[in-house]
């Protein structure tokens, strides 16, 4: 089903996968081979050509990271960072489209990492937020993904911001403030 030509089927695989994993979490955690298969499947669908499938793969990845089904290890971080740094050629065409999909997959993966920790700031989060901010001027749908993620980060971390801001350097705080504070209409 995950290799189906119908994007609706690939989308449904992710919906089914979320339910299956969450209802069988402890059983699946005792089977490392299955955890690896699920991780590979989610990463494969994060690179799907259909935007809706990639978005659902992002949601699935975020949920799996949040329930610690698999850890956000350096291997996964490196893989997502590499994808997000895919260079976009100037020429439009099918190759440019595939590069855009790869770059968007990386940005979605980094977004999933941010969204997986809605009320705390793990040590890896400031760096990933800075990497996401580098993609704010990328073409659509990347720009919208970054804006949505930053907006959600702001919403979920607003209540304890005085505590969370201690996790960021001064330079990172300056960048975040510029990104998260709307410009004044009357300025």
Give me the pLDDT at residue 97, please: 87
Contact 20, 60 (CB under 8 A): no
For the chain, which residues score pLDDT lower than 70?
A: 1, 91-96, 181-187
pTM of the predicted protein model: 0.91
Amino acid 3: pLDDT: 75
DSSP symbol at 167: G
Tokens standing for 49?
């050509």
Inside any domain, residue 185: no
Both tokens of 125, joined, read 């989060």
Domain encompassing residue 37: 7-180
- How many degrees, rounded to 5, is the angle at CA 69 between CA 63 and CA 70? 105
CB atoms near residue 22 (< 10 Å): 13
Rounded to whole angstroms, the Cα distance separating 4 from 10 reads 6
Provide the domain count of the chain: 1
What pLDDT sits at residue 94? 59
In a domain? residue 186: no
């Amino acid at each position: 089903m995950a290799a189906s030509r119908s994007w609706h089927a690939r989308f449904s695989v992710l919906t089914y996968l979320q339910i299956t994993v969450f209802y069988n979490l402890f059983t699946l955690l005792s089977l490392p081979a299955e955890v690896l298969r699920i991780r590979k499947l989610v990463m494969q669908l994060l690179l799907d050509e259909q935007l809706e499938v990639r978005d659902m793969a992002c949601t699935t990845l975020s949920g799996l990271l949040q329930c610690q089904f698999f850890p956000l290890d350096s291997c996964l971080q490196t893989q997502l960072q590499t994808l997000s740094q895919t260079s976009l050629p100037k020429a439009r065409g099918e190759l440019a489209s595939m590069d855009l999909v790869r770059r968007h997959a990386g940005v979605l993966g980094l977004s999933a990492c941010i969204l997986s920790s809605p009320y705390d700031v793990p040590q890896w989060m400031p760096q990933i937020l800075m990497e996401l901010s580098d993609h704010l001027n990328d073409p659509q749908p990347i720009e919208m993904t970054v804006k949505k993620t930053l907006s959600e980060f702001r919403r979920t971390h607003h209540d304890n911001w005085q505590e969370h801001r201690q996790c960021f350097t001064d330079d990172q705080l300056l960048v975040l403030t510029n990104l998260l504070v709307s410009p004044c209409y009357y300025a």
